[in-house]
Amino acid sequence: MQVVFQTLPKTAEEFISMPEFDLTSPFHVAALFITAICAYHENRDECYNMIDELKGPQKLGFMEKQFIRQRMMGKSEYIGKAYLAGAAPQNDYTPELPYTVIMEETPDTFAEVGYATVYVHTDGADSPRPVKLRKKGKDWFLWEHTGLFIDIYKPFSSDPWR
């Protein structure tokens, strides 16, 4: 499964106005999360506001914000882009246009009633990373996202071992 974006939003207002903003698919919500974390480098608060839009009634708490901040330190310029098609350590995580998030559905994706676990591809790791979503009514909401913040390979230009 893939979701394609023409632009990456910079504000929560742009985010919810995007034609791709769709909460009725767990795959769209996972892909929207990628676009939200791409905004962190330029404006942390707008990134948090975008994530809050995906979390439904349960907004980001202080500890979640601290976790994201710690994981983004020194990596905020590329960690979100690492999950976009064409972005790789070799090209310093420069994605192809249009921006595309590639995900996979596994036999376990919908194993738990009311939840879905989607795996997002990246060339920055050896395996896809999980995002867990929760269904409420007809919409899906971000539930667990920490798997996307596990370390990825450094861009070649900043890797002293290359």
Give pLDDT, residue 161. 76
Give pLDDT, residue 151. 85
Taking only the tens place, the pLDDT of each residue in 81-127 is 999 999 999 999 999 999 999 999 999 999 999 999 999 999 999 99
Question: By C-alpha distance, which of 127, 129, 106, 136 is closest to 1?
Answer: 106
Gap between the terminal Cα atoms of the chain: 33
CA distance 54 to 157: 33
Give pLDDT, residue 150. 87
CA angle centred on 108, ends 107 and 111, rounded to 5°: 120
Taking only the tens place, the pLDDT of each residue in 132-148 is 999 999 999 999 999 99
Taking only the tens place, the pLDDT of each residue in 26-70 is 999 999 999 999 999 999 999 999 999 999 999 999 999 999 999
CA distance 31 to 20: 10
CA distance 36 to 22: 14
Asked if 78 and 122 touch (Cβ cutoff 8 Å), the reply is no
Res. 159 pLDDT band, cuts 50 70 90: confident
Give pLDDT, residue 158. 83
Query: Model-level pTM?
Result: 0.95
